[in-house]
Amino acid sequence: MATETQSNPAQDAYRLYLEERKLLIDAARESARTFDKAVLTFGSVAFGFSIAFIKDIAPRPVPYSLKWLGASWLSFSVGLLAILLSFLFSHRACMFEIESGGKALTSSERPLKNPWSSATNWCNGLCVALLFFGLLLWAVFAFANLRSGEASMNKVEIPMEKKGYVPPSPPVKVPQQQTPAPAPTPAPGKK
């Protein structure tokens, strides 16, 4: 008589497949989350660094280089917008798969292709390309301003002339002579 707890090799393989699939889905989710954070951080830091460069190193940029700076900022901005859209599209892709999974259980129709998944992949690729392109454009701007020789790498600047109102020196105090204090007067009625 066979026991009911005997394991079927096909069922064991399928159970193992499902467990491994869950782990792979979790790994893919974590990888996507890490990628999104890294790209968002990189884009924000590159944008901030370019502003700090202007403030501290090239406060008076070479006029012809401003077009490179503007193009790099545009590229950084559109790249950051693409990664934000990727967050939205990724959410929509998950919702589409949930709906498709529910429909697949009740009907024999072939599942539709997920358009949101394609949009997410497109936005991720576009974001990386735009941030890299923005970095190249910013490098052209930076080298043009460093090569001009006007940019000073240290923050200490010695002013050539003083401008503005300078108050006069305080007047010299003349020492005053002390007068002797008056002698006390005797109280009335006492001698």
Domain coordinates in residue numbering, the chain: 36-106+113-147
- What is the per-residue pLDDT for 68? 93
> Can you give the pTM of this predicted structure?
0.63
- The H or E element containing residue 61 is none
CB hemisphere CA count around 144 (13 angstroms): 17
- What is the per-residue pLDDT for 160? 59
pLDDT band at 156 (very low <50, low <70, confident <90, very high): low
- What is the per-residue pLDDT for 151? 46
More confident residue, 181 or 112: 112
Of 2-16, 32-46, 85-99, 106-120, the least confident: 2-16
Query: 191 pLDDT exceeds 50?
Result: yes
Distance set, CA 82 to CA 40, 95, 98, 180 (Å): 10, 20, 24, 89
Neighbour-count burial of 69, counting CB atoms closer than 10 A to its CB (0-12 exposed, 13-18 middle, 19+ buried) = buried
- What is the per-residue pLDDT for 148? 75
pLDDT tens sequence across 103-119: 777 777 777 888 988 99
As a whole number, the mean pLDDT across the chain is 81
Q: How far apart are CA 110 and CA 97, in angstroms?
A: 13
pLDDT tens sequence across 20-71: 888 888 888 888 888 888 888 888 888 888 888 888 888 889 999 999 999 9
For range 5-14, the mean pLDDT: 80
Of 55, 52, 51, nearest to 73 by C-alpha is: 51
Q: Which two tokens stand for residue 70?
A: 């503007």
Query: 189 pLDDT exceeds 80?
Result: no
